[in-house]
Amino acid sequence: MRLRTCTANCSLFIYLVYSHNFCIPSSLHLFIMGVEKEIIKEGDGKNFPSVGTRLTMHYTGTLAADGSKFDSSVDRGRPFEFVIGIGQVIKGWDEGVMKMSLGEKAMLKISSDFGYGASGAGNVIPPNADLNFEVELLAIGDQNAPGFSGSSSSCTIQ
């Protein structure tokens, strides 16, 4: 059975998990709000983003429907910087990345209502498209993940 993000039946889901001792793999974290996170590589488990903090990330975005890649900071060789929790990125990133620890790499599976919704994005992301992002949290503010030395050539949202 494949676990998916719960919506209307969320209370029932939580009841079943806790009252029937269902086992959820430690690599899978469910978010109630349209984002599913699967850990690819554990982070430090100690340092987490807070609202208003500047983050440095690598990411690759694909359409959930067919797996086609639409954007990648990895391909450009330039990490992406933004401030978390203030709407600079799609809602799915604000929700999912906030639960990552420094150095963590994860797959975020984002429903369309937490992505670009009915409008899509240009000619690249169709309306109502569910998205997958492989993301890696390289830095929280001035604190870098092991192996990341920072980059003056990152792409930044002001």
User: How many alpha carbons lie under 13 Å from residue 97 in its C-beta half-sphere?
Assistant: 36
**Spatial distance between the Cα atoms of 120 and 48, rounded to a whole number of angstroms:** 30
Active site residues: 59, 70-71, 90, 116, 133
**Spatial distance between the Cα atoms of 84 and 132, rounded to a whole number of angstroms:** 19
H or E segment at 13?
helix 10-19
